[in-house]
Amino acid sequence: MKRSTPPLPVPFLMIIGIVAISFSSIFIKWSAAPASVQGMYRLLFTSILMLPFARPYSGAVFALRRKDWIMLVSSGVMLALHFLLWMGSLKYTSVASSTMIMALEPVFIMLGAYFLFKEKTALSSILAMSIAIAGVMFIGWGDVGISADNLKGDLLSVGGTAAVAVHMLIGQKVVVRMPSYLYSLIVFISAALVFAIYNVAMGIPFFAYPPREWGIFLLLAVVPTVFGHILFNWLLQYVSATTVSMNILGEPVGASILAYLLLGEQLTGLQWAGSLLVMGGLCAYLYSGHRKSKELNVVLDNAS
């Protein structure tokens, strides 16, 4: 049951969250550190910030089964892979292209749910997904006209989106048996450890970075994670998941505006066309999911 109202208006809080997550790409672009180092410290610092509030959930740790731990670590591995690929993509392609492709996360989740769990999808959702995927193809086509590196960045972003979709599908199965806060904390720590192992294996230094880089690592943990993703999770007690998911559409818009103002990035005509198709397809997809949710609620109300 949703609570009535939060301490501040929901639209105001959602705007804060959208602006916060939109800065993620900007911070990554500003940093000269390898993507694996950025990801490691982002997750490590976020975990440290979360630990003081984890005590009420300590008892739930001992109730976890071996299967749960395997799923948690697997989710952490996929989250690390997501950050490695998506953060790496920003070294090659524009903020607009990378974040627009990342916005396809719900579509990848739908595909994963079908292939892994045989969950059926309405025809309207499939059509909307097709429009969004066509938009990504336009973005990639536009990036080819700029350089091969831009297309490489687009492909890395696609891989990162697929990885985060698997991470979310695993979480969907695990979080029903444990508090979501504990799930997030364990997965963040697991992903940070995966990054640490990767950096050791690749010979990437942990500490040889100037103060400016450490400031960016901390900003990545505080701004897009605490004031973005964690804020959105907290808002779920006041509004529906469909409403919160609309923020997926806000990030590429906000990030593109910030990239234009702070990085001087501009879009080509094909990229604009692709972006409009992605946004239109996602709007249709999310609307289809919202309508399906409302129809289900009507059926449940009639059965009670």
The reply to whether the predicted model has a pTM over 0.85 is: no
| 46 has a pLDDT exceeding 80 | yes
| 87 has a pLDDT exceeding 80 | yes
Check residues 190 and 126 and name the one with the higher pLDDT.
Answer: 190
Beta-carbon-side half-sphere exposure of residue 84 (alpha carbons within 13 Å): 15
Check residues 210 and 117 and name the one with the higher pLDDT.
Answer: 210
User: What share of the chain has pLDDT > 90, as a percent?
Assistant: 33
Q: Residue 274: which of 154, 165, 125 has the closest Cα?
A: 154
Confidence at residue 147, expressed as pLDDT on a 0 to 100 scale: 66
Question: b vs e for 179-201, b when ≥16 Cβ sit within 10 Å of the residue's Cβ?
Answer: eebbbbbbbbbbbbbbbbebbee
Q: How far is CA 121 from CA 46, 126, 199, 279, in A?
A: 35, 7, 40, 20
Check residues 244 and 74 and name the one with the higher pLDDT.
Answer: 74
pLDDT 10s digits, 133-163: 777 777 666 655 566 777 888 899 989 989 9
> What would the mean pLDDT of 207-220 be, rounded to a whole number?
95
116: which 2 tokens? 């892994």
Cα dihedral across residues 153, 265, 257, 26: positive or negative:
positive
Cα–Cα distance measured from residue 270 to residue 174, given in angstroms and rounded to the nearest whole number = 41
Check residues 279 and 35 and name the one with the higher pLDDT.
Answer: 35
**Helices and strands, number each (H, E), in the chain:** 14, 0
Cα–Cα distance measured from residue 251 to residue 289, given in angstroms and rounded to the nearest whole number = 20
> Residue 214, SS3?
helix
pLDDT 10s digits, 161-179: 899 888 888 887 888 788 8
Check residues 105 and 85 and name the one with the higher pLDDT.
Answer: 85
User: What share of the chain has pLDDT > 70, as a percent?
Assistant: 82
> pLDDT-based confidence at 35, cuts 50/70/90?
very high
CA 287 to chain centre: 20
| 98 has a pLDDT exceeding 70 | yes
Cα–Cα distance measured from residue 183 to residue 116, given in angstroms and rounded to the nearest whole number = 21
